[in-house]
Amino acid sequence: MRAVLVANPKGGAGKTTLATNLSGYFSNTGRSTTLCDLDRQQSALRWMAFRSPDLTAVTGYFGGNQLAVSLPKETDWVVVDAPAGLQGYKLSDYIRLVDKVVVPLVPSIFDMAATEDFLNSLRNDLRGGARDKVGIVAMRVDPRTRAATMLEEFLKHFDLPILAYLRNTQNYVNVAAAGASLFDPPKSRHKKDLEQWQPLIEWLEK
Ligand SMILES: Nc1ncnc2c1ncn2[C@@H]1O[C@H](COP(=O)(O)OP(=O)(O)OP(=O)(O)O)[C@@H](O)[C@H]1O
Ligand SMILES: [Mg+2]
C-alpha cells in the first residue's frame, strides 16, 4: 500500500479536486484505489456516489475524527482528502502514515498567507526529507503569469518543489459533477490538462 495525503488548511484550495482526480488516475491505471475522506462535508464521498459503475472502481470511506489513525493495507493506493483546517497533532499523525503529501495552492495573497504556518509545520515535522515527501500543486494558474512568479518567490522560503501548474478550467467542475476524473474516458477531451498533470504523476510514482 502507498498513500498520498492532499492537504491545505485553506478552504477551497482544491484538495477534493486533486484527491478525486488522483483516485481516477490510480484506478484507471489498474491499481486498487481507496479514497479516505477526512472532511465532515464528505465531498469526496459524494463524488464517489456519483461515479458510474461503467468507470473503474474507486472505493472509499469516511475517516474523520478517528483517534488512532489507520489506513487500509490491502489496497494499492490510498488517497486521503483532508478537510480545511487540518493541523496540529492530527496532521502530524497523517504525515507519518503517508508516503507523499500534495498541497494545492492558489497563488493569491490570501491563500499564501493562510498556508504559511502549515508549510512551516510541515517542514519542521519532516526536517531534512521534506522535498521528497511534500510537493506543491499550483492551482488555477498559468505558469507564465505574475501570479505564478509570486508563488515561486513565496515558496523559496520553504524549499518545496512546485510539481505542476493546473490551469483554471471548467473541465474540473464538469468531470466532478459526473463522479469522473480527467483520467476517465473520453480522455482526448482533456489532453491539455492531462499534460499538466504529468510531472505530478511522475513525482508520485517515483
Ligand atoms: N483548476 C481548477 N479550475 C477551475 N475550478 C477549479 C479548479 N480547481 C478547483 N476548482 C473548483 O474550486 C472549488 C474548490 O475546490 P475544492 O472543493 O477541490 O477545494 P477544497 O480545498 O477541497 O475545499 P474545502 O476546503 O472546502 O474542502 C470547486 O468548486 C472546484 O470545482
Ligand atoms: Mg474538500
- DSSP class of residue 188? G
13-21: average pLDDT: 98
102 phi/psi in degrees, rounded to 5: -110, 130
Q: What is the pLDDT of residue 16?
A: 98
Domain range for 191? 2-205
For residue 126, which amino acid is it?
L
Determine which of 121-130, 131-140, 152-161, 176-185 has the lowest per-residue pLDDT on average: 121-130
Nearest 10 degrees: CA dihedral of 47, 41, 204, 200? 80
Q: Does position 129 have pLDDT exceeding 80, yes or no?
A: no
How much distance in Å is there from the Cα of 13 to the middle of ligand 1? 6
- pLDDT tens sequence across 157-194: 998 999 999 999 999 999 999 999 999 999 899 999 99
The strand pair at 162-166 and 134-139 is best described as parallel
In angstroms, rounded to a whole number, what is the distance separating the alpha carbons of residues 120 and 143?
24
Instruction: Write down the mean pLDDT value for the chain.
Output: 94
The distance from CA 33 to its chain's CA centroid, rounded to whole angstroms, is 14
Q: What percent of the chain has pLDDT over 70?
A: 98
DSSP 53-108: TTSPP-EEEE-TT-SS----TTSSEEEEEPPTT--HHHHHHHHHH-SEEEEEE--S
Number of structural domains in the chain:
1
Task: Give the pLDDT confidence of 33-73 residue by residue, as tens digits.
Answer: 999 999 999 999 999 999 999 999 999 999 987 756 789 99
Q: What is the CATH number of the domain that holds 55?
A: 3.40.50.300
pLDDT score for 67: 58
* pLDDT at 68 (0 to 100): 65
Percent of the chain at pLDDT exceeding 90 = 83
How far away, in angstroms, is 12 Cα from ligand 1 center?
5
- In the DSSP assignment, the letter for residue 197 is H
User: pLDDT tens digit string along 100-122?
Assistant: 999 999 999 999 999 999 999 88
Residue 149 clears pLDDT 90, i.e. is over it: yes
128 CA from centroid of ligand 1 (Å): 31
C-beta of residue 141 within 8 angstroms of C-beta of residue 104: no
**Nearest ligand atom owner, CA of 176:** 1
Q: Which residues contact 60 (CB under 8 A, 6 or more apart)?
A: 23, 34, 35, 36, 37, 44, 45, 48
